[in-house]
Structure 1
């Protein structure tokens, strides 16, 4: 019996305790986030970047999820309603297309816009496409 106890102790020491098999929240499965969005920007040169964004709680691959969720909440997930930043962009034509798709507060959203370059995109959309 002692070898089994020692073996179990060694496994626990190396791997840590086993995860609790019960679902979180007192036995109820965790609800799916109501906001599950995919944000991407694709340049005409072929480079593309895509991240996921979840809100409630903020997360996903976006580098600033809480700020991006707050920005979307202010405009009800319509990036066209974001007030552009007051900054200049160089007049260099390198087109980029920004796209947001997914679910926001239980409804499907889809938005797409083409900008002259990434500076113009970020000026118009703030933190949303800053990745």
Structure 2
């Protein structure tokens, strides 16, 4: 009798916990989280430089955020496969830039398909940044 009472009590506690949402956390969505903050910072240190522009992008099910073209930016993000260094190979070889050092740092921080992302790259000046990233929707803000 004692074992039966304990089993019934345990079952009641589990039912009560399930009714209040305590028993098991359920994912809020079928899609892994993809939300990032992109910045363009004056200087070679994103932590101490002056942030010139920033945009937020969420690519879970729908594309949204403060980015001016969220759908195009999510498509560009998907094209990288999560490898942001792929953005650096899209340079415009016909563009001539001055040879002066006025650094600009771009960053991407957040989560992409459930993985933590913390990426940054410093360009020698804004012309170099635009020559490399100008055709990419991620940093067109």
When normalised by structure 1's length, the TM-score is: 0.67
Aligned equivalents of 1:58, 1:89: Cα separation in 2: 34
Provide Cα deviations, 1:7-47, integer angstroms capped at 9, x if missing partner. xxxxxxxxxxxxxxxxxxxxxx9638711100001013735
Counterpart contact for 1:40–1:100, Cα < 8 Å: yes
Which residue pairs with 1:6 in the alignment?
none
Query: Does 2:117 align with 1:109?
Result: yes
Which residue pairs with 1:76 in the alignment?
81
Provide Cα deviations, 1:33-84, integer angstroms capped at 9, x if missing partner. 7111000010137352111001131110111111111111111122211241
Aligned equivalents of 1:89, 1:130: Cα separation in 2: 20
Aligned-pair CA distance for 1:90: 2.4
| RMSD after superposition | 2.3
Which residue pairs with 1:88 in the alignment?
95
Q: Number of aligned residue pairs: give it.
A: 103
Please show how residues 16-95 of structure 1 align to structure 2 within 5 Å: 31=29, 34-44=33-43, 46-55=50-59, 56-82=61-87, 83-86=89-92, 87-91=94-98, 92-95=100-103
Structure 1 gaps of 5+ residues are 1-28
The structure with the larger Rg is 2
Structure 2 gaps of 5+ residues are 1-26, 44-48
Aligned equivalents of 2:33, 2:51: Cα separation in 1: 30
Give 4+ residue runs of structure 1 displaced > 4 Å after superposition. Answer: none
